Amino acid sequence: FKNELSLHKTTNIMTKINKFNNEFYSKISEILQFARSKVIQTVNTTMVETYFEIGRLIIEEEQSGSERAEYGKQILKELSLKLTSEFGLGFSVTNLQQMKNFYNIYGKQQTVSAKSNPNELPSFKLSWSHYLKLMRIEDELERKFYEIECAKNNWSLRELQRQYDSA
């Protein structure tokens, strides 16, 4: 009987320890998942802001050139080579052109306060992949609608594509 009582106490203690460990682990896991999500969001925002600024600088440089069209093509080729050499993939002429288009589209949508302070960037809430998809929508109001819905409903790129295709 004494052994049974000892076994019962040990089992109760182990159950309490396991429950504590599960709750403890769950709390730490939640903190880590939140932190991971925040890091991803920060990286995405920084990447989009960076591409916006690169697009702005390319346009400003092209506008200062004499023969714009040919000068612009040459700038993108040279810039692509230098950036790829220093920073690796992601800076092809096509990608630089997309950054330029991104600035052309989203630079026009800046708020009045942002226009009074040219150093203030627009608020970007989506990933670069989302913006690449959105830039293919020619109608500005339609593009803005999908951008708002993406941010509000936390749509993945796949969900954005599905929503757009079903419209």
List pLDDT tens digits, range 29-70: 999 999 999 999 999 999 999 999 999 999 988 887 655 667
pLDDT > 80? residue 95: yes
Assign 26 a pLDDT band (cuts: 50, 70, 90).
confident
pLDDT > 90? residue 93: yes
Query: Which has more confidence, 41 or 9?
Result: 41
Assign 130 a pLDDT band (cuts: 50, 70, 90).
very high
CB 110 within 8 A of CB 33: no
Q: Is the pTM of this model over 0.75?
A: yes
Question: Which ranges of the chain does DSSP label H, i.e. alpha helix?
Answer: 2-64, 68-87, 93-106, 112-116, 128-135, 140-153, 157-166
Beta-carbon contacts of residue 123 (< 8 Å; ≥ 6 apart)? none
Assign 85 a pLDDT band (cuts: 50, 70, 90).
very high
pLDDT > 50? residue 88: yes
- Crossing angle of helices 128-135 and 140-153, in 10° steps, is 150
pLDDT given for residue 81 in this prediction: 96
Token couple for 50: 């960076």
Label each residue of 89-128 as H, E or C. CCCCHHHHHHHHHHHHHHCCCCCHHHHHCCCCCCCCCCCH
Mean pLDDT check: name the lowest of 31-45, 100-114, 142-156. 100-114
Beta-carbon contacts of residue 75 (< 8 Å; ≥ 6 apart)? 58, 61, 62, 65
Q: Give the Cα separation of 110 and 146 in Å (integer).
A: 17
